[in-house]
Structure formats: C-alpha cells, structure tokens
Amino acid sequence: MRALRAALYLLLFVAGSLAGAGAAFYMLELRPSPTVMYRVVEPLHLSNGVVLPVGTELGHRWSAPEGFEQLCLGVNVGGEELKRVSRHLEPQHLLFVPYWAVSPGE
C-alpha cells in the first residue's frame, strides 16, 4: 500500500511538472505577440545608396543602448529574379547586413 501511494505521488509530481513546463513553453514561445512596425513616411536613404520609398513597412528588431533602433526589411527573391543576384559564402556568421539611414546626398 505504501509503494502504491508513493507511486501515485510521483505520478502526480511528474504530471504537474509536465503541465507547468508546457504552460511556460506556451507563454514564452508559442503565444503570438504583437510586432512593432514602422512605415516610411518620406523617402529613406540608406548608406548603401538604396532609397526606401514611402509606405515601406519595416519590423522592429531591437533597441540599442546607444539610442538607435534596428529595423528589418525582408526581401523575397524567387524564380527569374534569382538570376539577378549572385550568391557567395561569407567567412563570418552574418544573419543580415545592416545599413545606416543617412541624409540625402551623404
């Protein structure tokens, strides 16, 4: 009888632990959260010469302690357009290449 009671308590402990871990995972990883977005309201010139037109949507990536915000723009390229870009390997691990917004003419 004592072994059965110990097994029951162990089973309840494991079930509670799994339920708690599942709830924590949902709260931290799976629950959708709003995305802060920015919209270009006047042409935005970048340091590589690209000009983002009015209406371009940019997602907020993070805020730097130095006082600037890092915004993301995704570019999907497929089909024939893939022939217009070249692929190469970069020795450093880069997820993206950042460019600075500059005043026109810089």
Spell out the per-residue pLDDT of the chain, length 106, in tens: 788 888 888 888 888 888 888 888 777 776 677 889 999 999 999 998 999 999 999 999 889 999 999 999 888 889 899 999 898 887 877 667 788 899 887 6
Are both 29 and 64 inside the same structural domain?
Answer: no
How many domains would you assign to the chain? 2
Euclidean distance between CA atoms 101 and 45, whole angstroms: 6
| This model's pTM is above 0.75 | no
Are both 8 and 49 inside the same structural domain?
Answer: no
9 to 3, 19, 20: CA distances (angstroms): 10, 15, 16
Are both 68 and 81 inside the same structural domain?
Answer: yes
Are both 52 and 93 inside the same structural domain?
Answer: yes
